[in-house]
């Protein structure tokens, strides 16, 4: 076991795997993942106001979520959410 890997990195791998697993089982839709991405991106502008977090951490999380959304979209497909 590699003890040099940080707990944050381990948590990220677990969360990414969980999102992919839930999408694979059709528990999460592509639209759900898009909404989750938007909520993560909102943290950039709301950093410190709604839920305390560093802007740089929020930007990094938004980038990771965007990549995960793209991966899930290519791998599992599905309908985009409706934009009104």
Rounded Cα distance between 58 and 61, Å, is 5
pLDDT, one tens digit for every residue, the chain (84 residues): 556 777 788 888 888 899 988 988 989 998 898 898 888 888 777 655 655 567 777 788 888 888 888 888 888 876 666 665
Residue 81 domain-assigned (yes or no): no
Residue 60 domain-assigned (yes or no): yes
Q: Which residue is it, tokens 């991405």?
A: 37
Range of the domain at 68: 7-76
Question: Is there a contact between 61 and 43 (Cβ–Cβ < 8 Å)?
Answer: yes
What was the pLDDT predicted at 27? Answer: 92
Residue 53 domain-assigned (yes or no): yes
Residue 23 domain-assigned (yes or no): yes
Rounded Cα distance between 81 and 78, Å, is 9
Residue 84 domain-assigned (yes or no): no
Number of structural domains (the chain) is 1
Rounded Cα distance between 40 and 22, Å, is 18
């Amino acid at each position: 076991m590699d003890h040099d890997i940080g707990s944050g990195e381990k948590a990220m791998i677990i969360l990414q795997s969980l999102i992919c697993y839930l999408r694979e089982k059709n528990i999460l839709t592509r639209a759900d993942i898009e909404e989750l991405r938007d909520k993560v991106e909102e943290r950039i502008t709301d950093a410190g106001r709604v839920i305390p977090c560093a802007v740089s951490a929020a930007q990094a999380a938004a980038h990771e979520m965007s990549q995960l959304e793209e991966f899930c979209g290519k791998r599992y497909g599905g309908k985009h959410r409706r934009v009104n």
